Structure 1
Amino acid sequence: MELYLIRHGIAQEREIGLADETRSLTDKGRDKTRQVAQRLSELGVRFDVLLTSPLLRSQQTAKILHDCKLSQNIAESAHLAPDGSIHDWLDWFKKQQYPQQTQLALVGHQPNLGQWAEILVWGEDRAKLFLKKAGIIGIALPETDSPIGQSQLFWLTAPKFLL
């Protein structure tokens, strides 16, 4: 199974009076995310399932990916919110019983996605992987009960390398 961890695009800065959940993509963030999505489409990347954090900027990023025909299905996952846990997500994931050939994309936030990738690949959070906005990490998940420390990193790309 291929798992793609995708960070949301460039969003509004944090400011007093603006709830984090409602921070939107900026015009630049929408444009850059659309360019990344179009490039992924040109490369033939497709997702069978696209899960997004419930926060607005991630939902907007997922919609852009969907609109560029990278996936037909978008679903929200509370596990992808900034306070989400990879262990809770993995418990949920195991129950889904996706076929091994599934290509699954998760749209979320940093530092979570970088930490999740490290846990899947190295078995621990080393605070070394940083995912740029609209960046992508690709991980091959093994056919085991627990992919923690058993997965293979095959893609770590900042948006500038796709554009």
Structure 2
Amino acid sequence: MTKQAIMTQIYLIRHGIAVERNEDIKDETRPLTDKGRQKTTEIGQKLGEMGVKFDIILSSPLVRAWETAEILQKAKLSEKISEFAPLAPGGSLQAWVNWWLNSCYNKDEHSLALVGHQPDLGEWAELLIWGSSRDKITVKKAGIIGLTLPQTVTPIGQGELFLLTSPKWLL
């Protein structure tokens, strides 16, 4: 009997619809709009109906991402939520890989939500799947990319895509 490989499911989730950029508000503090909160709440409910649960939700520190993460937590998708600076725009995938190796490596299966921004989430997905960025994957606001990663010290290029959806298709 062969031992089954330990896998981690990663859900890369883009923040919901946020207030448009303007001179009066710093990018870091732009909140979700009412429509963004509503749509993100519906996404959280749908994921819950599908049986999705996260061991932890990691969020970019930017307000719109944090609000998205809080909505997912309120939908009872996870008890744990934590700010994770590398999920801010321009953040480091390697910093996340290091966190993942320290937190999840050689442990039971895990399911993680990473709430962040485009184009970074699309680029992270490409790096985890193909090992290089190809500028081909775009995540819509409140959209989701699902990847399965084997427990390996070098997950770059080892991921398998199991979900790529916009909110329109999920709802």
How does the TM-score come out when normalised to structure 1? 0.97
Aligned to 2:5: none
Aligned to 2:23: 16
C-alpha deviations, 1:108-137, integer Å up to 9, x for none? 000000000000000001000000000000
- Report whether the alignment pairs 1:64 with 2:47: no
Give structure 2 stretches of 5+ with no counterpart: 1-7
Alpha-carbon shift at residue 97 of structure 1 (Å)? 3.1
Aligned to 1:97: 104
CA contact (8 A) 1:121 1:148 kept: yes
Alpha-carbon shift at residue 91 of structure 1 (Å)? 1.7
- Aligned equivalents of 1:8, 1:109: Cα separation in 2: 6
- Aligned equivalents of 2:104, 2:54: Cα separation in 1: 16
| SS, match of residue 16 in structure 2 | coil
- Aligned equivalents of 1:105, 1:93: Cα separation in 2: 12
- Aligned equivalents of 1:86, 1:79: Cα separation in 2: 7
**Match among 73, 76, 81 for residue 80 of structure 2:** 73
- Aligned equivalents of 1:97, 1:69: Cα separation in 2: 21
Aligned to 2:114: 106
- Report the AA paired with residue 119 of structure 1: L
CA contact (8 A) 1:100 1:143 kept: no
Identity %: 56
- Aligned equivalents of 2:86, 2:93: Cα separation in 1: 7
Structure showing greater radius of gyration is 2
Aligned to 1:34: 41
| SS, match of residue 141 in structure 1 | strand
- Report whether the alignment pairs 1:153 with 2:161: yes
- Aligned equivalents of 2:167, 2:17: Cα separation in 1: 11
- Aligned equivalents of 1:38, 1:147: Cα separation in 2: 30
Q: Structure 1 runs of 4+ off > 3 angstroms? A: none
Give structure 1 stretches of 5+ with no counterpart: none
C-alpha deviations, 1:31-88, integer Å up to 9, x for none? 0000111010110001011000000000100010000100100000001000201012
How does the TM-score come out when normalised to structure 2? 0.93
